[in-house]
Amino acid sequence: MFKRAKRKVPGLNTSSTADISFMLLILFLVTTSMEVDEGLERQLPPMEKEKTEAPTMVDARLVLKFQILADNELQLNDKPMTLQTVRQTVENFVASKGKKHIIQIQTDRKASYNTYFSLQNEIVAAYNNLRNKRAEQLYGKQYQLCTVEQQIQIAEEIPQRISEVYEVKAINGEEGGTQ
């Protein structure tokens, strides 16, 4: 009898879908931030199983002792100092003591990471300056431009000898000494 007329459902226009998704991708890439790893570039010695070392006696004259107190005050051998003088102090100390020097860092738990990292950066910058000077003397170029063998030789002449002292607590909660 009465037949309903068949209507065609119009198709969706998908020609701009790729353009829209590309624009959204660009939007997310521009608005999001890429996290960059921050930290200290250190190569720790490999952990040796079942080997304990007896404490080594060190001449106090070969140790440069930095302390960061809870209020972020920096001290050198128990005397106040500024972060701006760390680089030159470390350069002079390492140059005068040679391979046997030790730079000791003791940080209070309440000190900020910014102060700690700033101190570490200044110490590493001092080592880099010394290595650059030595590379200029030996090879007439900066340390970074030297070959791997040359860098190893200079690193052996001017080793980074940084020791960190941590406060430790006894298992039963009583105060412990330093490690």
In terms of DSSP H, where are the helices of 32-147?
A: 86-97, 113-139
In a domain, 146, yes or no: no
**pLDDT at residue number 56:** 74
Closest CA to 105 of 95, 90, 91, 92: 90
In a domain, 167, yes or no: yes
Q: Percentage of the chain surpassing pLDDT 70?
A: 82
**pLDDT at residue number 155:** 92
Structural domain that includes position 102: 61-128+160-178
Mean of pLDDT values over 67-78: 92
**pLDDT at residue number 91:** 94
In a domain, 21, yes or no: no
In a domain, 2, yes or no: no
> Residue 10: is its pLDDT beyond 60?
yes
In a domain, 81, yes or no: yes
Residue 102 CA: distances (Å) to CA of 94, 97, 147, 150: 8, 9, 27, 23
In a domain, 41, yes or no: no
Q: What is the DSSP letter of 38?
A: -
Mean of pLDDT values over 157-172: 76
Asked whether the whole model's pTM tops 0.75, one would answer: no
Lowest mean pLDDT among 75-79, 119-123, 164-168: 164-168
Domain count, the chain: 1
CATH of the domain at 88: 3.30.420.270
**pLDDT at residue number 167:** 67
Beta bridge partners of 175: 169
